[in-house]
Amino acid sequence: MEQLNEVVIKTKDLSKTYNKVDALKSLNIEVQKNSLYGFLGPNGAGKTTTIKLMLGLIKPTSGKGTVFGNDIVTDSIAIRKRVGYLPQDSKFYEYMTAYETLDFAARFFFKGPDKKIKARVEETLELIGLSDKADRPIKTFSGGERQRLGIGQAQVNYPDLLILDEPAASLDPMGRKDVLDILTNLKEFTTIFYCTHILDDVQRTSDTVAILNNGKLIKQGPIEDLLEGSGGIAYSIKVKGDYKVAQERLIILPWVSEVKIIDPNGESVLEIKVSDQDLAEAQLMQILTSVDGLIVKEFKRKTNSLEDVFIDIIEGDKNVKK
């Protein structure tokens, strides 16, 4: 029986060197079953190299890795039988229809009666939102429709792991939304490992994130922890009136580390960093409303964006190297 919290992908000091250039340096990651794992990094960070290693397309220089408990070097064929893969730039036979493409792919995996294969193809078309375009030639498809078809082709075999390389790159906002909705729905049935540089997409969909830079893993963990850990706990409070008295009262409190004023003109915004969330929620509003002539217009917990976190981590890594 499969266990909860089952590890689907695990690497131990996985490394790859090309002509004395370290493309990947001692990678240690764990990907849990049914997670949507965002693998981030600038161009040349080592993302595609990692995918090739996991699929047994190249051999590691050192270290090791497993997928479903199978060794990525000695058991790569067993691994690939259970994996669906979407490359960054999917290629199709342009004259074929969406139905024909999925039917062609499905027959590599299923040897059952035509009726069952047809049912699987129709189920996949519905999942990726192309049922009404099933009989159109692919050459008439938009970029978003092609990407959805690529995802359908990658998962037509009921894979236990989907590996996707930039699944929403070069798409317009609606195309990206369609792809992200499909990934969210697929998470119920499979584990999804995807590389991307579109940070907003990761923040919207992923539950776990790893950040690579120059072949090295810089950060890994639940996305909530990464967002929480950037700059600590902070509140953004819009006020009208003289904010200086409030600033003076707040900055002397032991659990307040910083009070920053944003656009001090008419309605101002106080950004307050704190070390104790419970005290902040119990006392901040009380302190502010006790200041004569100060009106609180908006009070909210400040949330960090993944882009902020990403830039901080990458810049911090550069500074460490210096």
Q: What is the pLDDT along the chain (322 residues), one digit of tens a residue?
A: 344 569 999 999 999 999 889 999 999 999 999 999 999 888 888 999 999 999 999 999 999 999 999 999 999 999 999 999 998 888 899 999 999 999 999 998 887 788 999 999 999 999 999 999 999 999 999 988 999 999 999 999 889 999 998 888 777 788 888 888 888 888 888 999 998 877 877 888 889 999 898 899 998 888 877 776 555 688 889 998 888 888 999 999 999 988 988 876 667 888 888 888 889 989 999 999 999 988 999 988 877 677 777 777 777 666 555 5
How far is Cα 133 from Cα 76, in angstroms, rounded to an integer? 35
Given this model, what pLDDT does residue 1 score? 38
CA distances from 127 to 27, 55, 280 (A): 34, 25, 45
Amino acid at 283: Q
Q: Using an 8 Å Cβ cutoff, are 208 and 36 in contact?
A: yes
pTM above 0.85, yes or no: no
Q: Name the helix (H) or strand (E) containing 146.
A: helix 143-155
Region(s) of the chain under CATH 3.30.70.1340: 233-301
* pLDDT for res 97: 97
State how beta strands 7-18 and 21-27 pair.
antiparallel
Bridge partners of residue 274, in order along the sequence: 233, 256
pLDDT of residue 2: 44
Query: What is residue 200's predicted lDDT score, i.e. its pLDDT?
Result: 79
The CATH number of the domain covering residues in 7-228: 3.40.50.300
CB atoms within 10 A of CB 298: 10
- Give the three-class secondary structure for 100: helix
In the chain, list all ranges with CATH 3.40.50.300.
7-228
| CA 146 – CA 92 distance, rounded (Å) | 9
CATH number for the domain whose boundaries are 233-301: 3.30.70.1340
User: What is the C-alpha to C-alpha distance for residues 147 and 169, in angstroms, rounded to an integer?
Assistant: 9
